[in-house]
């Protein structure tokens, strides 16, 4: 198990955003977290990556307790994360966005960087080469010189994924990776996610769009901050609580 | 309580009320327009000089001069909002620079026309109040009383009047307020005008108790910024409490430690508060 | 769609042409003394050099998105530190100047840690009060630092004339600008700009905001401390009134008027705002008006500072052709 949360809870004053959530993610899988809007899915991500401190509970990554660790340290441990509203380095080009994200690997010290040692120059050359490769993987190489702020929504999401791949993560946390994409872009992205899984990276994603079900191995359903179901897609599809959560208690299956 | 103790309290109240009058204008502009008007101290200074010009040079009755000066400066405030600050709502840096330019213009103009020697307004109320061991000038007493009274009126105005409510609404959430049909520019203009009028009153009173110099705005600006930031961005009512604290510190501390140490302590406290609680004692989260 | 200026694959922001311009400027400035007649013109150039260093270092910190309102106070730490060591401990100014700069950097890094936890206007406010605090502390130790009259008798760097000072400060400016330029264009500067654009995204790729802001503050304040120390040994008299809140704000004004977005912005802003009033020295009392006018013109008409004027003229001429 590469990631596990145990009894994760977050209270904001009187509001409980996440309540006693246990999830388990096996290595090499694509795991989905689904649930209605406002169910607490992004908060869950924030708790895992350390942007928020949990009120209670633990986060265990590769056997180590990382609860409450700061986001930049979590990143260095091998967890990469994309964001739902997709902030980017707006004034950098697409290529620069990815190149800037190669901070962790390969690592140059500040001294190396400032004095431009040969180690630094070699690292930089490697970075630009690798950045281009990632862009090609995601089909963004044709817009490499565009400023990130000028990109249409679907491209931005892909840039978000490209950026996070630069950190060479073992676990990828993707927050609504298909958001704002056209049908063609969705198919393409899902293909990319499958390729990423094949390369050995585990993916945990939050998504609204049910098409993601085609590629996930396991699903957790969250509503009102609570885990209400877990299992494979087939198990979930027929789960009464899930149907109720999405369609309301008054709906009868026709 | 000793007579001297009462004097200290009256002085503290007087200073506090003056600081709060100036700080309220500054806080209104900060919360409604989202800018730090560094020129507010200079406006306080100009207001005092305008009153001097009317009262001493033209010989108009001093209280009337005060009213006329406040009115004139209020109009000037409307002008400033319209032509200097309107494009910069929420733009901290550009508005700071514009206010610097204004300080330069105000201070230089006053310095060139009236800065050749130190001037002072005559006391608004002459004589000394001596009773029960307390010996204090009527002017200080009256200033303190009027200051507190004005603050009471100001608080009532902001809480009860329609415009006051609109100001609070804009300060809380400018986008929401606009959606409700409140015209932000109008509210901002009135806030600025009101701020200038209050600063003028404070400047005139202080110019009577102390002296008028073209640079007196600098000192009060420092106090005002400390006060407003300590009370918190986003809070207009908190300014009252912050003002009492700073006024008290300013009248009491210098009796026990040197001014520089008092200043350093005051700054250290403000820095500590900001680091622990950036939104100040009463403010709300901004930005 | 807008295109990024550097069509190469890299982060470098100074294309070849600009580098040559800087070099040419350096050569011209080196040869200028041949034509300078009055001592006063040397003095103006020297002061301009000092302020260019200060404003440029302020901008380095600003690339991470934070505007410091106590930069002049840091300059005073370098100035007074070096002056005290040289005058009272008897050490050579050539030793005390880098020590003064080092001292400034130490203070900057120490407060940099708590200050890195606040952002934007809150950082500016905290820095404002800190700057005022430095001045108060200076006043508390007035016995050693001299009161408002100033600290006198600071050992000079050179015996008499201004010419060696001119070359010293020209060299110091070149050195400082080189350090700051390299800092900004190497990966460190990239990380600072990344933090500025989105500290969330930066953290998600492992960039620690605190680490980089502290480093930026350290380097920026080392440079400005050096400038302050140099100034102290040139002027031989310093007063804390030259390093107060207004002085810090002037640095910000120079920087924003010149253009905060480019490396050359502070240089141009300082040069114009410093030198222009000097050309009208006869009307000395009216120079604040000139200053205010320039500020208002730039703020209302040239939002991105004077440097953006070059780009605007270029785009205008492209359109009309």
pLDDT in tens, C228-263: 999 999 988 888 888 988 899 889 989 988 888 888
**A128: nearest CA in chain C?**
C9
Q: Please check whether residue A209 is in contact with residue A182, taking contact to mean a CB–CB distance below 8 angstroms.
A: no
Q: How far apart are CA B28 and CA B20, in angstroms?
A: 12
Q: In chain C, which residues have their Cβ closer than 8 Å to the Cβ of A166?
A: 205
pLDDT tier for residue C222 given thresholds of 50, 70 and 90: very high
Query: C221: phi > 0 → left, psi -120 to 50 → alpha, else beta; which?
Result: alpha
Residue C1 clears pLDDT 70, i.e. is over it: no
Characterize B267-286 residue by residue with b for buried, 16 or more Cβ atoms within 10 angstroms of its Cβ, and e for exposed: beebbebbeeebbbebbeeb
Query: C158: phi > 0 → left, psi -120 to 50 → alpha, else beta; which?
Result: beta
Looking at residue C172, its pLDDT comes to 94
Lowest mean pLDDT among B31-45, B108-122, B171-185, C147-161: C147-161
Tokens read off for B278: 């950036």
Residue C57 clears pLDDT 60, i.e. is over it: yes
Q: In chain C, which residues have their Cβ closer than 8 Å to the Cβ of A49?
A: 204
Tally of CB atoms within 10 A around C272: 16
The residue to which tokens 């709300």 are assigned:
B284
Tokens read off for C34: 């041949």
CA of A171 vs chain C CAs: smallest distance (Å): 13
CA of C297 vs chain B CAs: smallest distance (Å): 10
Q: How far apart are CA C298 and CA C68, in angstroms?
A: 21
The residues of A whose Cβ lies within 8 A of any Cβ of C are 49, 51, 70-73, 75-76, 80-83, 87-93, 95-96, 99-104, 108, 110, 113-114, 116, 120, 124, 128, 132, 145-147, 150, 163-164, 166-167
Tell me the mean pLDDT in the region C204-221.
Answer: 93
pLDDT tier for residue C159 given thresholds of 50, 70 and 90: confident
Which of A72, A90, A164 shows the shortest C-beta gap to C197?
Answer: A90
Looking at residue C148, its pLDDT comes to 65
Report strand pairing: A30-34 vs A202-206: parallel
Residue C37 clears pLDDT 80, i.e. is over it: no
Lowest mean pLDDT among A68-82, A125-139, B140-154, C26-40: C26-40
- The answer to whether the CB atoms of C4 and A110 lie below 8 A apart is no
Q: How far apart are CA A106 and CA C206, in angstroms?
A: 12
Looking at residue A254, its pLDDT comes to 44
What are the two backbone dihedrals, phi and then psi, of residue A204, each rounded to the nearest 5 degrees?
-120, 120
pLDDT tier for residue C316 given thresholds of 50, 70 and 90: low
Task: Kindly state whether C129 is in contact with chain B, defined as any CB-CB distance less than 8 angstroms.
Answer: yes
Read off the pLDDT of residues C103-142 as tens digits, 9 standing for 90 and up: 999 999 999 998 988 887 788 888 988 998 998 888 888 7
CA angle (A159, A160, A161) in 5-degree steps: 90
Picking from A42, A39, A1, the residue whose alpha carbon sits closest to that of residue A23 is: A1
Q: How far apart are CA A242 and CA A249, in angstroms?
A: 10
CA of A88 vs chain C CAs: smallest distance (Å): 7
CA of C271 vs chain B CAs: smallest distance (Å): 18
**C142: nearest CA in chain B?**
B260
Give A122's Cβ-side CA count (13 Å radius): 5
Interface of C with A in 175-194 (CB under 8 A): 182-183, 186-188, 190-191, 193-194
Give C55's Cβ-side CA count (13 Å radius): 32
Report strand pairing: A218-223 vs A226-231: antiparallel
CA of C122 vs chain B CAs: smallest distance (Å): 6
Instruction: Please provide the size of chain C in residues.
Output: 321
pLDDT tier for residue C5 given thresholds of 50, 70 and 90: very low
The residues of B whose Cβ lies within 8 A of any Cβ of C are 36, 38, 87, 92-94, 96-98, 100-102, 104-105, 107-108, 112, 218, 222, 225-226, 229, 233, 258, 260-261, 263-264, 267-268, 270-271, 274-275, 278, 286-287
Looking at residue B286, its pLDDT comes to 44
Number of domains in chain C: 1
Give residue limits of the domains in chain B.
3-216
- The answer to whether the CB atoms of B267 and C132 lie below 8 A apart is yes
H or E segment to which residue A175 belongs? strand A171-175
Looking at residue C315, its pLDDT comes to 66
- The answer to whether the CB atoms of B98 and C296 lie below 8 A apart is yes
Q: Please check whether residue B234 is in contact with residue B31, taking contact to mean a CB–CB distance below 8 angstroms.
A: yes
Which of A72, A132, A145 shows the shortest C-beta gap to C203?
Answer: A72
**B97: nearest CA in chain C?**
C253
C199, C205, C217, C260: best to mutate for the A interface, most A CBs within 10 A: C205
Q: Please check whether residue C251 is in contact with residue C237, taking contact to mean a CB–CB distance below 8 angstroms.
A: no
Read off the pLDDT of residues B264-285 as tens digits, 9 standing for 90 and up: 887 888 888 888 877 666 665 4
pLDDT tier for residue C318 given thresholds of 50, 70 and 90: low
CA of B64 vs chain C CAs: smallest distance (Å): 32
Looking at residue C10, its pLDDT comes to 67
**A111: nearest CA in chain C?**
C188
Tell me the mean pLDDT in the region B215-222.
Answer: 86
DSSP string, A186-230: HHHHHHHHHHHHHTT-EEEEE-S-GGGGGT-SEEEEEETTEEEEE
Q: In chain B, which residues have their Cβ closer than 8 Å to the Cβ of C249?
A: 38, 96, 100
Q: Domain for residue C256, yes or no? A: no
Residue C4 clears pLDDT 50, i.e. is over it: no
Characterize B89-114 residue by residue with b for buried, 16 or more Cβ atoms within 10 angstroms of its Cβ, and e for exposed: bebbbbbbbbbbbbbbbbbbbbeeeb
CA of C3 vs chain B CAs: smallest distance (Å): 26
- The answer to whether the CB atoms of A87 and C193 lie below 8 A apart is no
Tokens read off for C245: 């809140």
H or E segment to which residue A59 belongs? strand A56-61
Residue C147 clears pLDDT 80, i.e. is over it: no
Q: Does A touch C (3+ CB pairs < 8 Å)?
A: yes
Tokens read off for B231: 């009370």
CA of C193 vs chain A CAs: smallest distance (Å): 9
CA of C150 vs chain A CAs: smallest distance (Å): 38
Characterize A169-181 residue by residue with b for buried, 16 or more Cβ atoms within 10 angstroms of its Cβ, and e for exposed: bbbbbbbbbbbeb
Lowest mean pLDDT among A22-36, B137-151, B163-177: B163-177
Lowest mean pLDDT among A110-119, B53-62, B67-76: A110-119
pLDDT tier for residue C317 given thresholds of 50, 70 and 90: low
DSSP string, B197-228: HHHHHHHHHHHHHS-B-TTHHHHHHHHHHHHH
CA angle (B9, B13, B19) in 5-degree steps: 145
Q: In chain A, which residues have their Cβ closer than 8 Å to the Cβ of C190?
A: 100
**C259: nearest CA in chain B?**
B94
Lowest mean pLDDT among B64-68, B246-250, C257-261: B246-250
- The answer to whether the CB atoms of C118 and B93 lie below 8 A apart is no
Residue B75 clears pLDDT 90, i.e. is over it: yes
Q: Domain for residue C231, yes or no? A: yes
R_g over Cα of chain A: 19
Q: Where are the alpha helices (DSSP H) in B115-237?
A: 138-160, 162-172, 174-179, 184-209, 216-231
Which of C122, C132, C142 shows the shortest C-beta gap to B278?
Answer: C122
Write the CATH number of the domain with boundaries A3-247.
3.40.50.300
Q: In chain C, which residues have their Cβ closer than 8 Å to the Cβ of A167?
A: 204-206
pLDDT in tens, chain A (254 residues): 889 888 888 888 778 888 888 889 988 889 998 887 777 888 888 999 988 888 889 999 998 999 989 999 999 999 999 888 888 888 888 888 998 898 887 787 888 888 888 888 888 888 888 888 898 888 888 888 888 888 888 888 889 889 989 888 999 999 888 887 888 888 888 888 988 888 889 999 988 777 888 888 888 888 888 888 888 888 877 777 777 766 665 544 44
What are the two backbone dihedrals, phi and then psi, of residue A18, each rounded to the nearest 5 degrees?
-135, 130
CA of B263 vs chain C CAs: smallest distance (Å): 7
Q: Please check whether residue C213 is in contact with residue C64, taking contact to mean a CB–CB distance below 8 angstroms.
A: yes
ipTM of the complex: 0.84
- The answer to whether the CB atoms of A145 and C191 lie below 8 A apart is no
Tokens read off for C21: 């311009």
pLDDT tier for residue C6 given thresholds of 50, 70 and 90: very low
Q: How many B/C residue pairs have CB atoms within 8 Å?
A: 99
Picking from C197, C224, C213, C295, the residue whose alpha carbon sits closest to that of residue C82 is: C224
Task: Kindly state whether C283 is in contact with chain B, defined as any CB-CB distance less than 8 angstroms.
Answer: no
Q: Is A23 in a helix, a strand, or coil?
A: strand
Looking at residue C13, its pLDDT comes to 55
Q: Please check whether residue B18 is in contact with residue B202, taking contact to mean a CB–CB distance below 8 angstroms.
A: yes
Percent share of chain C, pLDDT over 70 = 90
Q: Where are the alpha helices (DSSP H) in chain C?
A: 16-31, 39-62, 71-88, 93-115, 120-140, 142-145, 163-185, 187-197, 199-204, 209-235, 245-258, 265-279, 287-301, 307-320
- The answer to whether the CB atoms of B275 and C130 lie below 8 A apart is no
Q: Please check whether residue C116 is in contact with residue C214, taking contact to mean a CB–CB distance below 8 angstroms.
A: yes
3-state helix vs strand vs coil in chain B, percent to 5: 75, 5, 20
CA angle (C310, C315, C317) in 5-degree steps: 95
CA of A121 vs chain C CAs: smallest distance (Å): 10
Q: How many A/C residue pairs have CB atoms within 8 Å?
A: 103
Picking from C287, C160, C127, C154, the residue whose alpha carbon sits closest to that of residue C228 is: C154
pLDDT tier for residue C14 given thresholds of 50, 70 and 90: low
Q: In chain C, which residues have their Cβ closer than 8 Å to the Cβ of A81?
A: 204
Q: What is the DSSP letter of B82?
A: I
Looking at residue C321, its pLDDT comes to 44
- The answer to whether the CB atoms of C1 and A146 lie below 8 A apart is yes
**A125: nearest CA in chain C?**
C10
Looking at residue B287, its pLDDT comes to 36
Chains that touch B (3 or more CB pairs under 8 A): C
Looking at residue A208, its pLDDT comes to 78
pLDDT tier for residue C50 given thresholds of 50, 70 and 90: very high
Q: How far apart are CA A154 and CA C284, in angstroms?
A: 59
**C296: nearest CA in chain B?**
B98
Looking at residue C175, its pLDDT comes to 94
Q: How far apart are CA C104 and CA C76, in angstroms?
A: 9
């Amino acid at each position: 198990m590469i990631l596990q949360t145990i009894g994760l809870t977050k209270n904001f004053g009187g509001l409980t955003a996440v309540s006693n959530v246990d999830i388990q993610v096996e290595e090499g899988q694509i795991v989905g977290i689904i649930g209605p809007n406002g169910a607490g899915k992004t908060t869950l991500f924030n708790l895992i990556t350390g942007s928020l401190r949990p009120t209670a509970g633990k986060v265990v990554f590769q056997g180590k307790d990382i609860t409450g660790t700061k986001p930049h340290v979590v990143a260095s441990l091998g967890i990469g994360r994309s964001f739902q509203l997709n902030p980017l380095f707006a004034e950098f080009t697409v290529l620069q966005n990815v190149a800037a994200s190669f901070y962790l690997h390969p690592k140059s010290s500040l001294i190396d960087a400032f004095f431009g040692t040969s180690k630094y120059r070699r690292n930089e050359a490697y970075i630009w080469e690798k950045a281009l490769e990632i862009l090609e993987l995601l089909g963004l190489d044709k817009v490499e010189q565009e400023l990130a702020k000028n990109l249409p929504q679907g491209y931005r999401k892909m840039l978000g994924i490209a950026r996070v791949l630069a950190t060479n993560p073992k676990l990828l946390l993707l927050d609504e990776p298909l958001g704002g994409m056209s049908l063609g872009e969705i198919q393409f992205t899902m293909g990319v996610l499958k390729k990423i899984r094949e390369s050995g990276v585990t993916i945990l994603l939050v998504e609204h769009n049910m098409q993601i079900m085609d590629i996930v191995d396991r699903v957790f359903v969250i509503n009102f901050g609570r885990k209400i179901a877990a299992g494979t897609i087939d198990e979930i599809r027929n789960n009464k609580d899930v149907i109720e959560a999405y369609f309301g208690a008054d709906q009868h299956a026709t | 309580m000793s007579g001297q103790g009462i004097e200290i309290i009256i002085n503290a109240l007087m200073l506090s009320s003056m600081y709060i009058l100036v700080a309220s204008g500054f806080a209104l502009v900060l919360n409604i327009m989202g800018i730090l008007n560094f020129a507010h101290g200079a406006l306080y200074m100009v207001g005092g000089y305008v009153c001097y010009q009317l009262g001493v040079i033209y010989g108009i009755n001093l209280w009337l001069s005060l009213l006329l000066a406040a009115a004139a400066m209020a109009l000037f405030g409307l002008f400033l909002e319209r032509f200097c600050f309107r494009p910069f709502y929420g733009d901290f840096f550009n508005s700071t620079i514009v206010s610097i330019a204004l300080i330069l213009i105000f201070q230089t103009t006053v310095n060139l026309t009236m800065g050749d020697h130190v001037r002072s307004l005559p006391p608004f109320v002459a004589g000394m109040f001596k009773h029960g061991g307390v010996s204090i000038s009527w002017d200080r007493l009256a200033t303190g009383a009027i200051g507190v009274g004005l603050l009471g009126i100001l608080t009532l105005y902001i809480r009860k009047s329609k415009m006051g409510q609109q100001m609070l609404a804009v300060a809380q959430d400018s986008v929401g307020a606009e959606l409700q049909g409140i015209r932000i520019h109008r509210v901002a203009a009135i806030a600025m005008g009101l701020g200038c009028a209050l600063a003028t009153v404070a400047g005139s009173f202080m110019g009577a108790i102390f002296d008028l110099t073209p640079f007196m705005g600098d000192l009060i600006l420092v106090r005002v910024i400390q006060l407003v930031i300590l009370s918190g961005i986003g809070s207009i009512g908190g300014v009252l409490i912050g003002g009492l604290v700073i006024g008290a510190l300013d009248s009491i501390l210098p009796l026990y430690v040197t001014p520089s140490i008092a200043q350093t302590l005051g700054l250290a406290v403000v820095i500590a508060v900001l680091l622990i609680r950036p939104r100040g004692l009463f403010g709300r989260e901004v930005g | 769609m807008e295109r990024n200026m550097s069509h190469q694959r890299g982060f470098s922001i100074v294309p070849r042409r600009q580098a040559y311009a800087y070099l040419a400027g350096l050569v011209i400035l080196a040869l200028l003394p041949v034509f300078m007649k009055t001592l006063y013109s040397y003095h103006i150039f020297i002061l301009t050099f000092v302020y260019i260093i200060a404003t440029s270092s302020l901008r380095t910190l600003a690339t991470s998105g934070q505007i410091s309102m106590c930069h002049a106070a840091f300059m005073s730490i370098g100035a007074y530190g070096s002056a005290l060591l040289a005058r009272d401990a008897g050490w050579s100014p050539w030793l005390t100047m880098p020590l003064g700069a080092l001292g400034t950097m130490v203070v900057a890094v120490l407060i940099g840690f708590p200050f890195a936890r606040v952002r934007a206007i809150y950082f500016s406010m905290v820095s404002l009060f800190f700057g005022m605090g430095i001045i108060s502390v200076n006043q508390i130790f007035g016995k050693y630092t001299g009161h408002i009259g100033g600290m006198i008798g600071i050992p000079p760097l050179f015996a008499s004339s201004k010419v060696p000072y001119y070359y010293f400060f020209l060299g110091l400016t070149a050195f400082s600008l080189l350090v700051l330029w390299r800092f900004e264009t190497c990966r460190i500067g990239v990380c600072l700009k990344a933090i500025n654009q989105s500290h969330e995204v930066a953290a998600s790729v492992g960039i620690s905001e605190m680490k980089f802001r502290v480093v930026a503050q350290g380097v920026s304040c080392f440079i400005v401390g050096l400038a302050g120390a140099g100034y102290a040994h040139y002027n031989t008299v310093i007063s804390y009134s030259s390093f107060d809140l207004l002085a810090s704000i002037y640095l910000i004004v120079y920087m924003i008027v010149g253009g905060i977005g480019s490396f050359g912005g502070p240089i141009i802003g300082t040069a114009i705002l410093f030198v222009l009033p000097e050309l009208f020295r006869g009307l000395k009392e009216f120079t604040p008006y000139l200053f205010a006018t320039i500020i208002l013109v730039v703020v209302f008409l040239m939002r991105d500072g004077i440097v953006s004027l070059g780009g605007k003229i270029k785009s205008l001429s492209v359109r009309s052709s």
